[in-house]
Structure 1
Amino acid sequence: MFSQMRIRGVGVIDDAVLELSPGLNVLTGETGAGKTMVVSGLGLLLGERADSGLVRTGSDSALVEGVVQLPPEHPALARADEAGADHDDGELVIARTIAAAGRSRAHVGGRTAPVSVLADLGQLLVAVHGQADQWRLKQGDAHRAVLDDFGGEQVAALRDRVAELHDRWRASAREHERLVSEARDRAREIDSLTASLEEIESVDPQPGEDAALRAEDARLAHADTLRLAAAQALADLSGDEYAAEPAPNVRDLIGSARAALAPATTHDEALSGFDTRLHELGTLVTDLSADLTAYLDDVELDPERLGFVQERRAALSVLTRKYGETVDEVLEWSGRAAARLDELVTADDRVERLGAEVAELEDAVATAALALSHARSQAGADFGGRVSEELAHLAMGKAVVQVDVRRRTDPDGVALPDGERVRLSRHGIDDVEILLAANPGAAPRSVAKAASGGELSRVMLALEVVGSRSAAADGAGGPPTYVFDEVDAGVGGRAALDVGARLAALAEHA
């Protein structure tokens, strides 16, 4: 509920603060005192279109600020959170400023926000009923919402069931339509993936094969150079047994050095250490010579193998140009492509399953929507009767309220179990309108158009009283604040007492 409202520079109001309490608050005053400006200011605070003409003469701007106290689970707090607002223990501050030049700004919880956020909060916080404004029933959907709230848990459960089935039905239908429309593209992709996978399978690349073949290609292509280099190194280390004249080699020179040190090693430990190190060096030379000998045996001139390796590398390079930088990347792409191909191949089966699922869900949502329509019709008859009874106590004894629940027929729509085709939304198949026949013989018209002057506020008072009683019985509730402008206009005596009693009754739940 609103606990405080400040208005500055609006119309005849210079600066005023309204302290509001739970229950019934009554604002009275003579003509021109500013009562209408309070309602206008509230309209600005709740997202109504800004009019610079409301700015007080001589003021640069107008300000309307409100403090709202709400329970933690109230949807208005959730909407404020979405807008990035700050609030403290359910206390939310909202504000609207209008410059004399016409520019308007909105603030929610200390943060600048679009005016549309204030409008969203207004629908959750306040219902305003006056001779000129009917914020509660401005939109057609609001009539349906009023009836659904009156219908209680039974209507709410059916409405939620219809919404849930409708969302599932539409999601399945969209997926089915997408798969059907993409059939040609799917066929082309299947052909492309199949050809690519067959190409990769024909080459049959192995993990790391490209790197191994690259190294082998380099070795085979330069076999002569490699053998000559290794043979020369071997001869320098251990000599060439086939040479016409022996040449100095490392092994012989190490042996000669050790022979020179041998007579003196017993006289000096340092010299003995040098001999030991020469021995170790000779062992290393022997091992290295053996390795070079094995290398020479392994490096062969094999033109046939070289041709095979180069052909294999060429085949692999065709794949790496198309599917990845390396063979490992080609294999990863192949795995993903195979999974995608399986998904595409099985898509036709999925299309068939989805088609059956769409038909099943359509039947289910149509059946649920029909049940919801019947429940609304029953609730509408009860609601109209109760509101008419209330009007009898508000100096409108001849007025009759009816709730028109009619199906939205559509020859291209969804077929109901009874064969009728209707346009179906997540809210059902009904258009709901609350109608009023103000006098006997008068044709029922939309409630906002049929009544005039103070009658309109009394009609809305009756609607809200009946609705609030039903909501209280079900543990639910509508907006936490109701505003009735000139609800007592044109009534007096007992009717005026009845108006007060209804206001007090409504204040018990708001």
Structure 2
Amino acid sequence: MLEEIAIENLGVIRAARVALSRGLTVITGETGAGKTMVLTGLGLLMGGKADAGSVRPGASGAVVEGRWQVAARPAVAARVADAGGEVDDDGSVVVLRTVAAEGRSRAHLGGRSVPQGVLAEIADELVTVHGQADQLRLRTPSKQREALDAFAGPAHQATLAAYREAWAERGALQAEIDDLTARAAERTREAELLRLGLAEIERVDPRPGEDAELHALVARLGNVEALRVGATEAHEALAGEDLGEASSAVELLTQARRALEAAAHDDATLAGLAARVAEAGYLVADVATELSAYVDDLQADPAALETSHARLAALTALTRTYGETVDDVLAWASDAGLRLLDLDDGGERLRGLAQRVGELDETVGRLGGEVTAGRTAAGERLAGAVTDELTGLAMGGARLEVEVAATDPGAWGADQVTFALVPHPGAPARPLGKGASGGELSRVMLAVEVALATEAVSTATGATTAVLPTFVFDEVDAGVGGRAAVEVGRRLAQLARSTQVIVVTHLAQVAAFADAHLVVTKSAGDAGTVTGVEEVRDEDRVRELARMLSGQEDSDAARKHAVELLTTSVVGR
């Protein structure tokens, strides 16, 4: 519910703040006074397009602020939180829209700057606007279907939700089937390449790290003489006996050790050094022994070298294709084996998907039939309810027909819903969007909304009442007068028993049914034309109704008629 709206420098309105309440609120005023600016301001709060031309001349920008009560709408409160805004402790949230004279606009929700699209999102939950330019809402088949589904009630909507869930799952599975089928040849080629690769690796049968071992072996076998010379010279230097005048490393270290030990009794430091030289001697002797054994074992083996080269060539062929090292090749083989299992399972996967799609086809067919039956029954009830309402709206003899025709199954069922209006007996039924004038469409819209609201309240249980949006009607009474105007007012008041209804009207017969009556006034001053909005009660309200009736607010006849309208509206509710 919209609790309050404040407007600054929008059109002819310099500053106005209007408190709104539940029930029927009417907005009246002289032609050109600025009634539509109130709706323009509301449109901005709903995320509508900003127009710099609507900024009051001479002002730097326009500001519209509204306070919505969202305590009963958790989805809206959640969206506010998602956008970073805050809902006040009393369950209300402030929406602010500014429009600069240069054309830029900004939107704020719950104290946080947001894109204007966020305001449009929450507006879908909070308000429904009907005006001469907004009747397109009922002209489209999709919106007519939505209205019929809403009228059909919670049980029907639950069936429709189950249908949509099954339809979505079937669509996802069918897309997977189509993908698997389309890529069958590609999957076969991939599987064949994987098999060839695995067969090649299996034939070579590499071991982890084998390539590194072979490189070392080939380097050793291919340089036997150089290795022999190097090892022999090192052995001679460390422990050789035929060195001429030179002594071996072992002999020299032995001499050093003995010299240090002989002098060690005079200095403890030399004793420690003697021990370290002795350790070095033992180490050099061990290395000399190993070098001797190495030289004895080092034999040229041309056959082994050729075999190693051949094996290394086979491993190199694998690493060119499947990785840089043999370990990479083995990792590829492991992954390829798993992928091949997945590819070979494609046929089984297809069979499983096809079976599930068959089950879903049965579910979709069954639920689709139930949705069709629900819409057909609801269409008969809605047509009867709207036709009854039209009789009271000076459209006697007119009737609404709701056609539920079979069509190809889709996300919303297998039905084409069409609202058709028969304007008078004997006339052909024509789709509502083509066969109704603006005034007729306005009254049909009002009749539909009253029927929907009545159904929503009748399905509520206990103390719980349906949470309906705020309805805004802009001159829904266009083209009517007399008794029909009274009936329009009566039905707006009936709708307002269930929710908040705001109506811009020029008919006193409609305004007399209001719970709150706001008047837009225009005056000229030094600062130019100024428009204000104020609520009228008692005698002031009688004067406004008299003005609307005759254009003369002080006319005794008009005032008497205004009082009669007020009295009749209270009795007639």
Relative to the length of structure 2, the TM-score reads 0.76
Deviation at 1:332, TM superposition (A): 1.5
Q: Secondary structure at the match of 2:472?
A: strand
Distance 2:224 2:421 in 1: 105
Partner of 1:463: 448
Deviation at 1:274, TM superposition (A): 4.1
What letter corresponds to residue 227 of structure 2 in structure 1? Answer: L
Partner of 2:314: 315
Partner of 1:218: 219
Deviation at 1:452, TM superposition (A): 4.5
Partner of 2:490: 498
Q: Judging changes above 3 Å, is the alpha-carbon distance between structure 1 residues 465 and 496 closer, same or farther for their aligned structure 2 residues?
A: closer
Partner of 1:444: 429
Distance 1:217 1:72 in 2: 83
Distance 2:482 2:65 in 1: 33
What letter corresponds to residue 113 of structure 2 in structure 1? Answer: R
Q: Judging changes above 3 Å, is the alpha-carbon distance between structure 1 residues 71 and 221 closer, same or farther for their aligned structure 2 residues?
A: farther
Deviation at 1:170, TM superposition (A): 1.0
Partner of 2:302: 303
Distance 1:64 1:15 in 2: 10
Deviation at 1:323, TM superposition (A): 1.5
Superposed CA offset, 1:284-329 (max 9, x none): 2222223323433454322222222222222222222212122212
Q: Secondary structure at the match of 1:340?
A: helix
Distance 2:370 2:3 in 1: 42
Superposed CA offset, 1:149-179 (max 9, x none): 1212221111111111111111111111111
Partner of 2:473: 484
Q: Report how many residues are paired.
A: 491
Superposed CA offset, 1:168-215 (max 9, x none): 111111111111111222222222222222222221122122222222
Say whether the 8 Å CA contact 2:9–2:59 is kept in structure 1: yes
Partner of 1:338: 337
Deviates more, 1:150-159 or 1:487-496: 487-496
Deviates more, 1:363-372 or 1:171-180: 363-372
What letter corresponds to residue 373 of structure 1 in structure 2? Answer: T
Partner of 1:158: 159
Distance 2:321 2:74 in 1: 58
Deviation at 1:427, TM superposition (A): 0.8
Deviates more, 1:488-497 or 1:156-165: 488-497
Deviation at 1:338, TM superposition (A): 1.9
Deviates more, 1:485-494 or 1:34-43: 485-494
Q: Secondary structure at the match of 1:18?
A: strand
Superposed CA offset, 1:428-450 (max 9, x none): 11122333334333333444555
What letter corresponds to residue 130 of structure 1 in structure 2? Answer: G
What are structure 1's unaligned runs of at least 5 residues? 409-422
Distance 1:302 1:434 in 2: 98
Partner of 2:540: none
What letter corresponds to residue 455 of structure 2 in structure 1? Answer: S
What letter corresponds to residue 18 of structure 1 in structure 2? Answer: V
Distance 2:383 2:473 in 1: 21
Deviation at 1:129, TM superposition (A): 2.0
Q: How does 1:425-444 map to 2 (within 5 A)?
A: 425-444=410-429
What letter corresponds to residue 286 of structure 1 in structure 2? Answer: A
What letter corresponds to residue 16 of structure 1 in structure 2? Answer: A
Deviation at 1:364, TM superposition (A): 2.4
What letter corresponds to residue 338 of structure 2 in structure 1? Answer: A
Distance 2:406 2:27 in 1: 43
Distance 1:173 1:79 in 2: 33
Distance 2:136 2:121 in 1: 12
Partner of 1:424: 409
Deviation at 1:7, TM superposition (A): 3.3
Q: Judging changes above 3 Å, is the alpha-carbon distance between structure 1 residues 297 and 432 closer, same or farther for their aligned structure 2 residues?
A: farther
Relative to the length of structure 1, the TM-score reads 0.84
Distance 1:21 1:332 in 2: 73
Say whether the 8 Å CA contact 1:461–1:503 is kept in structure 2: no
Partner of 2:124: 123
Q: Secondary structure at the match of 2:348?
A: helix
Distance 2:16 2:261 in 1: 118
Q: Secondary structure at the match of 1:507?
A: coil
Q: Secondary structure at the match of 1:201?
A: helix
Superposed CA offset, 1:41-79 (max 9, x none): 433443555566545455565554433332385444555
What letter corresponds to residue 317 of structure 2 in structure 1? Answer: V
What are structure 2's unaligned runs of at least 5 residues? 503-573
Give aligned-pair identity as a percent: 41
Deviates more, 1:375-384 or 1:490-499: 490-499
Give the number of the structure with larger relative contact order, counting CA–CA contacts within 8 Å between residues 6 or more apart: 2
